[in-house]
Chains A and B, each alone.
Chain A
Amino acid sequence: EPEVTQTPSHQVTQMGQEVILRCVPISNHLYFYWYRQILGQKVEFLVSFYNNEISEKSEIFDDQFSVERPDGSNFTLKIRSTKLEDSAMYFCASGEVEQYFGPGTRLTVT
């Protein structure tokens, strides 16, 4: 059964550093998303991506965030200058109506 994969599973970085979280969506899907979940809080939408451009983004997705589909299979989330409050689980998802989630990347900013 096809699934969304994410790497790395855990990333530790220092405040101010750049991180790139990687995702491989389900191969025939055209819509991709990033969500995050801060410990103990709700899963929050960050951004959706379709046809090589952002289709929707939340208030959280400010200028320090960017997304890219660098090739036919990968979908990345870049955080330019990490802050302590960026520590969270980051989930990638794909699918137009039914969204299928990856296992997540735990980002720890120290």
Chain B
Amino acid sequence: GENVEQHPSTLSVQEGDSAVIKCTYSDSASNYFPWYKQELGKGPQLIIDIRSNVGEKKDQRIAVTLNKTAKHFSLHITETQPEDSAVYFCAARGAAGNKLTFGGGTRVLVKP
């Protein structure tokens, strides 16, 4: 089945700097890649997603890139702010069904 690996597991950045989180997936048939942000005591919140027919998508300070050949995708957060501090999860959906396979998460700390 699908396997998603996520790096780094923790990331500390200075406010205003950029943060990049990378994920790799194993199933070349996967076609949908969401990113979730989880704050303490809350459920995962969908923040951006990308489908396999697109290479890049941007929404204000966050962007996601997808390299299907290499089977990896990345989340980029620019001009980080303290409220960006959270755990971020990547996920992949295979070609059959809607099941999401998650990466292990990245704890991001934005230092003021």
Interface residues of A (CB under 8 A from B): 4, 6, 31, 33, 35, 41-45, 48, 55-56, 58, 91, 96-104
* 13 A–B contacts from the bound complex (CB under 8 Å): A6-B43, A42-B103, A45-B101, A48-B97, A48-B99, A91-B44, A96-B98, A97-B98, A98-B34, A99-B46, A101-B43, A101-B45, A103-B41
Contact partners of A45 in chain B: CB under 8 A: 99-101
A42 contacts across to B, CB distance below 8 A: 102-105
Q: Compute the total of residue contacts between A and B using a CB distance below 8 Å.
A: 54
CA distance A97 to B92 in the complex (A): 11
Given A45-B99, A48-B98, A56-B98, A100–B46 Cβ distance below 8 Å?
yes
Cross-chain contact A56 with B97 (CB below 8 angstroms): yes
- Whether the Cβ atoms of A99 and B97 lie closer than 8 Å is no
Shortest A42–chain B CB gap in Å is: 5
A91→B101 CA distance, assembly (Å) = 14
The 8 Å CB contact of A33, one of B89, B98, B105, is B98
Q: Which residues on the B side are within 8 Å of A104 (C-beta)?
A: 42-43
Residues from chain B with a CB closer than 8 A to the CB of A58 are 99
A4 to B91, CA, bound (A): 19
Inter-chain contacts of B44 with A (CB < 8 A): 43, 91, 101
Cβ-defined contact, B46 with A98, below 8 A: yes
Please give, as numbers and ranges, the residues of chain A lying within 8 Å of B97 by CB-CB distance. 48, 55-56
In the complex, which residues of chain B have a beta carbon less than 8 angstroms from the beta carbon of A91?
A: 43-44
Give Cα distance in the complex from A102 to B38, angstroms: 11
Residues of B within 8 A of A43 (CB): 44, 89, 91, 100, 102
